[in-house]
Amino acid sequence: MSRTGLLDAWPYARLLGVRLEGGEDGPVALLPFAPRLIGNPILPALHGGVVASFLELAALARLDAEGRRARTIDITVDYLRPAGPVATYAEARVLKLGRRAANLAVEAWQEDRARPVAALRGHFMILG
Amino acid sequence: MPDEPRVPDEPMSDAAPTELAARGTALSLALGFETLTDRACGMRAPFRADLVGDPTGGAIATGVIFALLDQTCGMAISQALRNRAAAENRALGFGGMATLDFRLDHIRAPRPGAAVVGEAECLRITGDVAVVRGWAYEDDPDDPIAAAQAAFMITQAPSASA
């Protein structure tokens, strides 16, 4: 398996600008702000689809870091606060890693880790 | 006339000032989404190399389908709000909507190289909460790629006029 990370290899991840950054307790996913990511120009706030894509990519990158290639089966995203026009961070936890499927939980935040903007729960098919 | 693109509506369009409504969301423009005129709430995500997810498969990313259906679900709510205001014979209030939760099931992988169409319908709109469902496919709505179910909070202020 190539050790080029998933976030570098997936064109859509590059388009959004998602990358991993070193955190105190291991890597966190980073989505730098860009004006094209806006969904609500009045607030302004990031597009809900961008927030979801970022959370999903953080989950897939987490599995990738464990050497597992995966495909999304289903995700549910809870939107907790408007995601403003600043950098967004996400941390993914593997709740279960089975032979065929994995369950992950991802939380995203902006300035304050204790005030998450969105949370994802999802199932991912393990491809190899 | 099938699938003729026009300037995309944005989901907040009923609430936003007119000039914003005509523009589409920054994201929908960046991803090249086109509003479809031959159905109520439909948009198409083009196939583009930079919208690919896993390069092994070469299909449009699941995240693009999420964004597409999020956008069409917003359109469906905008339309339901317009219909409700018309039925109550009043002007549309100002405000917007916020996604509470959004579930997306991926039924199968999209065909590599194919554009994806998203559609949505508003199942119920109460005072504050709208329940919507969306679905995505390439050519045949009976052969869906993905299905969405979502709840939105309506932040639109009630109109004063009756």
Smallest Cβ–Cβ distance between A47 and the set B16, B27, B49 belongs to B27
φ, ψ of residue A25 in degrees (nearest 5): -110, 40
Reported as a pLDDT band with limits 50, 70 and 90, residue B21 is very low
Number of residue pairs across A and B with CB atoms under 8 Å?
A: 124
| Mean pLDDT of the residues in chain B | 83
| Sign of the four-CA dihedral B39, B26, B122, B90 | negative
Smallest Cβ–Cβ distance between B27 and the set A50, A57, A71 belongs to A50
Of B56, B98, B86, B100, nearest to A1 (Cα)?
A: B56
> Tens of pLDDT along B103-146?
999 999 999 999 999 999 999 998 789 999 999 999 999 999 99
Which of A2, A7, A31, A50 has the most B C-beta neighbours within 10 Å, making it the best mutation to test the interface with B? A50
Instruction: Check if the beta carbon of residue A36 is closer than 8 Å to that of residue A15.
Output: no
> Tens of pLDDT along A27-83?
899 999 999 999 888 888 999 999 999 999 999 999 999 999 999 999 999 999 999
Overall fold of domain A6-126: Thiol Ester Dehydrase; Chain A (3.10.129)
Across the interface, do B106 and A71 touch by the CB < 8 Å criterion?
yes
What is the DSSP code (8-state) at residue A96? E
Across the interface, do A42 and B96 touch by the CB < 8 Å criterion?
yes
> Tens of pLDDT along A86-122?
999 999 999 999 999 999 999 999 999 999 999 999 9
Reported as a pLDDT band with limits 50, 70 and 90, residue B58 is very high
Across the range B72-80, mean pLDDT stands at 91
Rounded CA-CA distance B123/B131 in Å is: 6
Q: Tokens standing for A118?
A: 């969105």
Reported as a pLDDT band with limits 50, 70 and 90, residue B28 is confident
Q: Which residues of A touch B27 (CB under 8 A)?
A: 36-39, 47, 49-50
Reported as a pLDDT band with limits 50, 70 and 90, residue B8 is very low
Q: Which residues of B touch A10 (CB under 8 A)?
A: 52-55, 61
Whether the ipTM is more than 0.85: the answer is: yes
Rounded CA-CA distance B151/B158 in Å is: 19
- Where do the domains of chain A lie? 6-126
Calculate how close chain B gets to A23, using CA atoms only, in Å. 25
Calculate how close chain A gets to B89, using CA atoms only, in Å. 27
* A26 against B85, higher pLDDT: B85
